[in-house]
Amino acid sequence: MVNGVHFKDELIIYREDDLTRVFKSSCTHLGCQIRQSGDGNLVCPCHGSRFDYYGKVLNGPANSPLEQAKFEVDKIKNELIIYD
Ligand code: FES
């Protein structure tokens, strides 16, 4: 997977070289699916909440971070294994 933000099913995958973070894409405000990134953050289409690439809230109305997904990187196969 190349570096950057990827939207897959109900997940957001952030990749930067050896660093990977995986979040649930449900906004913590009212549950809209986040499918957009811009200006270095993740943007909810419903009411405009913004999150950084750690899942932390930058702008409300959401007031809690994106839920992190449990995952593992299989370095041999270069695959992401999601456990949720
Ligand atoms: S559901 Fe995302 S900001 Fe309201």
CA of 3 to the centre of ligand 1 (A): 26
Q: Nearest 5°: phi and psi at 23?
A: -125, 155
Cβ atoms 62, 29 nearer than 8 A: yes
State which residues form the domain around 50.
Answer: 4-82
pTM as predicted: 0.87
Choose one of 27, 35, 57, 58 to mutate for the ligand 1 pocket test, by most ligand atoms within 8 angstroms of C-beta: 27
Q: What is the number of structural domains in the chain?
A: 1
CATH number at residue 34: 2.102.10.10
Q: What is the rounded CA–CA span in Å between residue 44 and residue 28?
A: 10
Number of H helices, E strands in the chain: 0, 9
pLDDT of residue 62: 96
DSSP-derived 3-state class of residue 80? strand
- Per residue in 3-55, pLDDT (tens digit) is 889 999 899 999 888 899 999 999 999 999 999 888 889 999 999 999 999 99
